[in-house]
Amino acid sequence: MVFRFVLRRCALAVPSLFGLLVLTFLLIRLVPSDPAVVMAGDAATPAQIAEIRHQYGLDRPLWEQFIVYTGKAVRLDFGESAFSHRAVSLDIAQRLPATLELTFAAMGLSILLGVPLGVFAALRYNQWPDFALRMLSVFGVAVAAFWVAIMLQLLFAMQLGWLPLRGELSVAIPPPTRITGSLLLDSLLTGRFDALRDGLAHLVLPAVTLGLGGLASIVRFTRAGVLDTLQQDFVTYERAMGYRRMRLIWRYVLRNSVTATITQIGLLFGGLIAGGVVVEAIYDWPGIGSYTVNAILTGDHQVMLAVTLMIGVVYAAVNILTDVVHGLVDPRLMDQT
């Protein structure tokens, strides 16, 4: 039953992804500059430009180019980065683990802190803890991530010196052998606890910066969900039948309250991707975000488009996952669709 549900949701996502392919294809063709000219360089003769145009298939009809493009995209061939002169897919594969580390750290922070705080705020409705948490939520969503990053760096790295300023690992510590690509996992697997400790220290500020917006959002929606649920008749019944208070709140009330939170977590991912770009750039985090910013600044179109496409796919996958989790939490939804 779950399998069919997932299949159905995937099928719905296909048209959007196809549209994304079309969009990215058109975008690169809309660039004012002639790609053949750009690739040939300034000193190229018209003959050389024509040669390059033919070599890259740029003189074929548009729809034919699109098919070639799609074929390549499916095989994860995104061409070469104008900056690094390596295959874009290779660059991305190398940088992906760092971004995943950061994203999961931020998400973990947001959820593991956000949900309990949201419940806490709801239980202390209209008292001081509730007001304080609501203010935090308002700030968290309104604040500019890049500014928070700079402020945190200012305070914790520059003034207090408690945490490192940038990067993934201190220069003095040699990185562990690369097994998975993730610094933390590799350190753990090779027993390099010095690198692990240092890596974790470097992860703190970026993860907090990235997770702040999500934390604010999750606190807000969990609180609302819990408040709504507490009004329900079944909560009265569960109290009347002597359910233990802690279990009542954390098991029976919470599961009903998280529908809105789960939606938020799905949307959160989009925010983490977008925010990740800026946060990685500021903290010099060697992930896809800083790769993207670099591509922007150097006008590396191939990279930009590859990243856009990849993000679209990830986003679609996250949305499907969100729906599945919704269905698992509330079985009524699975029966409906």
Partner 1 sequence: MIPVLSVRGLKVSFHTDQGRATVLDDVSLTLERGRVLGVVGESGCGKSTLIRTILGILPDAARVEAGAVVFEGENLLVFSEQELNQRVRGSRIGFIPQDPLLSLNPVFKVGSQLLEIMRDHAPPGTKRRDHIKRLIELLRRLQVPDPDTALERYPHQFSGGQRQRLLIAAALACSPGLVIADEPTTALDVTTQHEILLLLRELVDEFDISLLFVTHDLGVVAEVCDTVCVIYAGQTVEAGLVGAVLQTPTHPYTQALLACHPERSTHFVGIPGNVPSTLRMPPGCRFAPRCGYVEPVCSMALPESLQATSGASVRCIRAA
Partner 2 sequence: MSPILRKLSRDLPAMLGLALVVIVVLIAIVGPWIAPYPGDVTASHLARRLKPPTGSFPFGTDNLGRDILSRVILGARGALTVAFSVVALSMAIGIPLGLVAGYRAGFVSELIMRVTDVVLAIPQLILALALAQLMSPSLESAMLALSLTYWPFFTRIVFAEARRLSNSVFVDALRGLGMGSARIVFLHILPNAASPIIVRATIGLGFTILTAAVLGFLGMGATPPAPDWGLTIAQSRIYLPGAWWYALFPGLAILLTVMGFNLLGDGLRDLVDPRLRRSR
Binding-site ranges for partner 1 (CB under 8 A): 232-234, 236-245, 247, 252, 255-256, 329-332, 335
CA atoms within 13 A on the CB side of 110: 34
In the chain, the amino acid numbered 249 is I
CA atoms within 13 A on the CB side of 230: 16
Binding-site partner at residue 232 among partner 1, partner 2, none, CB < 5 to 8 Å by type: partner 1
Asked whether 210 and 102 are in contact (CB, 8 A), the reply is yes
- Measured from the CB atom, is 24 or 257 closer to partner 1? 257
Kindly tell me which residue out of 40, 196, 311, 320 binds partner 2, with binding defined by CB under 8 A: 311
Residues ≥6 apart with Cβ < 8 Å to 105: 203, 206, 207, 210, 211
- Measured from the CB atom, is 256 or 308 closer to partner 1? 256
- Does position 11 interact with partner 2 (CB under 8 A)? The reply is no
> Among 311, 309, 310, 276, which residue's Cα sits nearest to residue 293?
276
Binding-site partner at residue 237 among partner 2, partner 1, none, CB < 5 to 8 Å by type: partner 1
Q: How far apart are CA 176 and CA 101, in angstroms?
A: 16
- Does position 139 interact with partner 2 (CB under 8 A)? The reply is yes
Q: Distances from the Cα of 210 to the Cαs of 117, 147, 204, in angstroms?
A: 18, 11, 10
- Measured from the CB atom, is 235 or 293 closer to partner 1? 235
Closest separation between CB of residue 209 and partner 1, Å? 35
- Does position 277 interact with partner 2 (CB under 8 A)? The reply is yes
Asked whether 49 and 37 are in contact (CB, 8 A), the reply is yes
- Measured from the CB atom, is 90 or 329 closer to partner 1? 329
Binding-site partner at residue 260 among partner 2, partner 1, none, CB < 5 to 8 Å by type: partner 2
- Does position 316 interact with partner 2 (CB under 8 A)? The reply is yes
In the chain, the amino acid numbered 282 is I
Closest separation between CB of residue 22 and partner 2, Å? 8
Closest separation between CB of residue 114 and partner 2, Å? 13
> Burial letters for 200-215: b for 16+ Cβ neighbours within 10 Å, e otherwise?
eebbbbbbbbbbbbbb
By CB under 8 A, what part of segment 49-88 binds partner 2? none
Q: How far apart are CA 88 and CA 309, in angstroms?
A: 12
Kindly tell me which residue out of 5, 6, 17, 56 binds partner 2, with binding defined by CB under 8 A: 17
Closest separation between CB of residue 174 and partner 2, Å? 29
Q: How far apart are CA 260 and CA 96, in angstroms?
A: 29
- Measured from the CB atom, is 60 or 326 closer to partner 1? 326
Q: What is the DSSP letter of 164?
A: -
Report which secondary-structure segment, H or E, holds 220.
helix 193-230
- Does position 26 interact with partner 2 (CB under 8 A)? The reply is no
Lookup result for tokens 């939520």: 137
Q: How far apart are CA 44 and CA 264, in angstroms?
A: 52
Closest separation between CB of residue 246 and partner 2, Å? 25
Q: How far apart are CA 189 and CA 328, in angstroms?
A: 33
- Does position 170 interact with partner 2 (CB under 8 A)? The reply is no
Instruction: Pull the structure tokens for residue 25.
Output: 């294809």
Kindly tell me which residue out of 25, 69, 78, 221 binds partner 2, with binding defined by CB under 8 A: 221
Q: Distances from the Cα of 257 to the Cαs of 59, 114, 172, in angstroms?
A: 57, 13, 47
Kindly tell me which residue out of 271, 286, 287, 327 binds partner 2, with binding defined by CB under 8 A: 271
- Measured from the CB atom, is 162 or 237 closer to partner 1? 237
- Which parts of this chain interact with partner 2 (CB under 8 A)? 15-17, 19-20, 22-23, 27, 30-31, 134, 138-139, 141-147, 150-151, 153-154, 158-159, 220-221, 223-225, 228, 260, 270-271, 273-275, 277-278, 281, 292-293, 295-297, 299, 301, 304-305, 307-308, 311-312, 315-316
